[in-house]
A and B are shown apart, each in its own frame.
Chain A
């Protein structure tokens, strides 16, 4: 057992911190104050801020650091990725704009795409020139993803796609989408064997996105309607009818979140500050709750480090990463709820109101947190995965 970093890893950590020292100096006052005085979330100003930060990260070579060098990444080791994510979280550095493209679409194209697809898409994902969204879920297919009804029918060199997608995060502004559609309609084969994986031009004729307003009041989601949309066959990823399995790989990738516990530990400091501001830091119930959050965050951190060790030994992040992510997401949710509780009557005040604490930032993050245990697999689906794949319990048949 050894928690120390190698000299190379220490050097990388220093490099990242030096870069952050230099570049975080120029962040706007509102960001540094972290008091909710920044631009309206999802506003043009807010997006411009993310894009500008993304460009800085890109110029420094910090976007897609895990990607192979030949595709414009850094070819960073797993440890370097963890160090990078941890330092970013510890310093509360802003997020870049490239989330879905860099984290999902890119890695999928690298793993299963053609050379032509790699050349065409990867550079613009990294630079942020093109942004991506995801067309997986449908009104009748969320947790039960294999039930999707969107149809893609062959027509010469094209597929003609009809259907509806939902929860399309960032869909209104995205240039491209990763899309799942049914390509085999044989009723006798299992549903998951008839799905293909496409890259969809969101500006193509027949694509309509309507904003879908969430309980936060903002519309991050879209509803995407596909009416006779033509997708060239060269934009299929992997083999026909094998798309469901490719998407499962993407989901596993998303569930391996070794550094989220560090983010939670950072949030606990904010919670302690809030408890002090509200003068309830001597209240035994408050102290118990915060201490329990701290213990849980550390437990999640060490679960993550054990999973990381297995990963470093060449084992891919499997179902056990669901254990860590179920814990961190649910805990994040309980922490947000408790932050509201600490504010008492002030918890009802939102952005723009006189007396609102941190201009309603907690209220927004509280509402947002309810989505954490739904997106990327609900808590219940994650427990099914743990039970069936890790513990070997029988599936319901």
Chain B
């Protein structure tokens, strides 16, 4: 029995934190949030690639480091703490891991090494106007025409599509009674004619896009996995996305906790540090309890994915539900305990507060995942 990070993982965590404190300071995060049209820093992206982060969880034969999903979760926790801007998770987890899991050897050899060395940005076009995460929500159509598929329809909330080199589009290729059948995954070159990308304005400054596919032609060899059988691949991808998000959120929640504890020790009111008031102590104790819980359930879920255990869907939904609410509580109380200063634009707490609200709904909120848990428990 050993439920702790090993030495290598602790080293990865420490070195990632040191690197990001230097290379991804809040000035950079704010600059990208407020002005930047790209939504990420190409310089930072290149440095992360050089450190091997983009290929951490990929086999060596594609230029990766051959580490596990748990190692990746340790890294993402630190990225969440630093609020690294840009499509790191969509590139590596949503699309990169999907190609690794379901792609052809040609696709892997073509895409993965270039993704890992930082040349390619990838993103996933999943959700539509209906906001559904279920197979029944996938209505963008792809019809076969000779050696191509023609995609038509609109995808929404696509992260960083405006800078992506490839978009993995989840489209319907047949429409029977079982909605989980007839879904196909297409790796679409983002420069293909007929693709129109519009960046939406967001609270966090992240770049979410509307992607309109108007008679977009994609060659059959760009189908990832088998035609009509893309949904199970997406189910697995969603589990990994949930745990990646949980790691990201845990890192952010831990920042909010640490920062608020420091403030409560220093801020004097009524001639004493506010951290000596039990009203403040108990709020912080609750925060600490939830963050400790997040770390524990998130590492378990990440371990489950690494080991490919049977309870991955259960672990992933539990982690997302718990960590999502933890992050929200930690930043809500973080603002409250900081008082007026916590409500200002200048203090960093709102950056995390907004990220928490965005992360909470990403790939399903607490209610959604509790219902998943209820189904798995066969209540």
Interface residues of B (CB under 8 A from A): 1-6, 70, 261, 264-265, 272-273, 275-278, 280-282, 284-286, 288-289, 292-293, 295-297, 299-300, 303, 318, 321-322, 367, 370-371, 373-374, 377, 379
**In chain A, residues 44-75, which have Cβ atoms closer than 8 Å to a Cβ of chain B?**
none
Chain A nearest Cβ from B57, distance in angstroms: 15
Asked whether A309 lies within 8 Å of B1 as measured between CB atoms, the reply is yes
Q: Give the distance in Å from the alpha carbon of A79 to the alpha carbon of B1 in the complex.
A: 8
Q: How many A-B residue pairs have CB under 8 A?
A: 152
23 contacts between A and B (CB under 8 A): A79-B1, A272-B377, A287-B371, A288-B374, A290-B374, A291-B371, A295-B321, A298-B297, A302-B297, A302-B299, A303-B292, A306-B4, A306-B292, A308-B1, A312-B1, A312-B2, A313-B4, A386-B285, A386-B289, A391-B281, A393-B273, A393-B284, A394-B275
Asked whether A291 lies within 8 Å of B3 as measured between CB atoms, the reply is no
Find chain A residues with CB under 8 A from B276 CB.
Answer: 393-397
Q: Which among A1-9, A132-140, A362-370 touches the partner chain?
A: A1-9
Chain B nearest Cβ from A299, distance in angstroms: 4
**Which residue of chain A lies nearest to B289 when distances are taken between CB atoms in the complex?**
A323
Q: Give the distance in Å from the alpha carbon of A281 to the alpha carbon of B378 in the complex.
A: 9
9 closest residue pairs by CB, A with B: A387-B281, A302-B296, A291-B370, A383-B285, A287-B374, A291-B373, A299-B293, A386-B285, A393-B275
Find chain A residues with CB under 8 A from B285 CB.
Answer: 326, 382-384, 386-387, 391
Q: Say yes or no: is A338 at the interface (Cβ < 8 Å to chain B).
A: no
Q: Say yes or no: is A305 at the interface (Cβ < 8 Å to chain B).
A: yes
Main secondary structure of the interface of A (DSSP, over half): helix
Q: Give the distance in Å from the alpha carbon of A313 to the alpha carbon of B288 in the complex.
A: 23
Q: Give the distance in Å from the alpha carbon of A1 to the alpha carbon of B71 in the complex.
A: 11
Q: Give the distance in Å from the alpha carbon of A290 to the alpha carbon of B373 in the complex.
A: 9
Q: Which of A306, A327, A388 contacts B3 (CB 8 A)?
A: A306
Asked whether A287 lies within 8 Å of B281 as measured between CB atoms, the reply is no
Asked whether A309 lies within 8 Å of B377 as measured between CB atoms, the reply is no
Q: Which of B1, B295, B297, B322 contacts A5 (CB 8 A)?
A: B1
Q: Give the distance in Å from the alpha carbon of A380 to the alpha carbon of B281 in the complex.
A: 10
**In chain A, residues 289-331, which have Cβ atoms closer than 8 Å to a Cβ of chain B?**
290-292, 294-296, 298-300, 302-303, 305-306, 308-310, 312-313, 320, 323, 326-327
Find chain A residues with CB under 8 A from B292 CB.
Answer: 303, 306, 320, 323
Interface string of A251-285 (1 = CB under 8 A from B): 00000000000000000000010011000010010
Asked whether B371 lies within 8 Å of A284 as measured between CB atoms, the reply is yes
Asked whether A295 lies within 8 Å of B373 as measured between CB atoms, the reply is yes
Q: Which of B3, B286, B295 contacts A3 (CB 8 A)?
A: B3
Asked whether A291 lies within 8 Å of B2 as measured between CB atoms, the reply is no
Q: Say yes or no: is A345 at the interface (Cβ < 8 Å to chain B).
A: no
Asked whether A1 lies within 8 Å of B282 as measured between CB atoms, the reply is no
Find chain A residues with CB under 8 A from B282 CB.
Answer: 380, 383-384, 387
Asked whether B275 lies within 8 Å of A288 as measured between CB atoms, the reply is no
Asked whether A275 lies within 8 Å of B379 as measured between CB atoms, the reply is yes
Q: Say yes or no: is A234 at the interface (Cβ < 8 Å to chain B).
A: no
CB within 8 Å for A384 and B278 given contacts A1-B70, A290-B374, A393-B265: yes
Asked whether A302 lies within 8 Å of B261 as measured between CB atoms, the reply is no
Find chain B residues with CB under 8 A from A82 CB.
Answer: 1
Find chain A residues with CB under 8 A from B295 CB.
Answer: 306
**Which residue of chain B lies nearest to A289 when distances are taken between CB atoms in the complex?**
B370
Find chain A residues with CB under 8 A from B3 CB.
Answer: 1, 3, 302, 305-306, 308-309
Chain B nearest Cβ from A122, distance in angstroms: 29
Taking residues whose C-beta sits less than 8 angstroms from the other chain, chain A's interface range is 35 or more
Asked whether A295 lies within 8 Å of B379 as measured between CB atoms, the reply is no
Chain A nearest Cβ from B190, distance in angstroms: 38
Asked whether B278 lies within 8 Å of A396 as measured between CB atoms, the reply is yes
Q: Give the distance in Å from the alpha carbon of A14 to the alpha carbon of B316 in the complex.
A: 31
Chain A nearest Cβ from B319, distance in angstroms: 9
**Which residue of chain A lies nearest to B68 when distances are taken between CB atoms in the complex?**
A1
Q: Say yes or no: is A392 at the interface (Cβ < 8 Å to chain B).
A: yes
Given A292-B370, A383-B282, output 20 extra A-B contacts at Cβ < 8 Å: A1-B4, A4-B1, A291-B371, A291-B374, A298-B300, A299-B297, A300-B293, A303-B296, A309-B3, A383-B278, A384-B281, A386-B289, A388-B281, A392-B265, A393-B261, A393-B280, A394-B265, A394-B272, A396-B276, A397-B272
Q: Give the distance in Å from the alpha carbon of A386 to the alpha carbon of B322 in the complex.
A: 20
Interface string of A370-387 (1 = CB under 8 A from B): 000000000010111011
Chain B nearest Cβ from A376, distance in angstroms: 17
Chain B nearest Cβ from A315, distance in angstroms: 11
CB within 8 Å for A288 and B379 given contacts A1-B3, A393-B275: no
Asked whether B6 lies within 8 Å of A298 as measured between CB atoms, the reply is no
Q: Say yes or no: is A34 at the interface (Cβ < 8 Å to chain B).
A: no
Chain A nearest Cβ from B295, distance in angstroms: 8
Q: Say yes or no: is A390 at the interface (Cβ < 8 Å to chain B).
A: yes
Interface centre among A79, A302, A310, A326 (most CB of B within 10 A): A302
Chain B nearest Cβ from A298, distance in angstroms: 6
Q: Which of B4, B5, B293, B377 contacts A294 (CB 8 A)?
A: B377
Asked whether B273 lies within 8 Å of A394 as measured between CB atoms, the reply is yes
Q: Give the distance in Å from the alpha carbon of A84 to the alpha carbon of B82 in the complex.
A: 43
Find chain A residues with CB under 8 A from B370 CB.
Answer: 287-288, 291-292, 295
Chain A nearest Cβ from B366, distance in angstroms: 8
Chain B nearest Cβ from A106, distance in angstroms: 26
Asked whether A1 lies within 8 Å of B5 as measured between CB atoms, the reply is yes
**In chain A, residues 320-363, which have Cβ atoms closer than 8 Å to a Cβ of chain B?**
320, 323, 326-327
Find chain A residues with CB under 8 A from B289 CB.
Answer: 323, 326-327, 386
**Which residue of chain B lies nearest to A326 when distances are taken between CB atoms in the complex?**
B289
**Which residue of chain B lies nearest to A388 when distances are taken between CB atoms in the complex?**
B281
Find chain B residues with CB under 8 A from A290 CB.
Answer: 374, 377, 379
Q: Which of A1, A291, A326, A395 contacts B379 (CB 8 A)?
A: A291
Chain B nearest Cβ from A387, distance in angstroms: 4
**Which residue of chain B lies nearest to A283 when distances are taken between CB atoms in the complex?**
B379
**Which residue of chain B lies nearest to A5 when distances are taken between CB atoms in the complex?**
B1
Chain A nearest Cβ from B94, distance in angstroms: 24
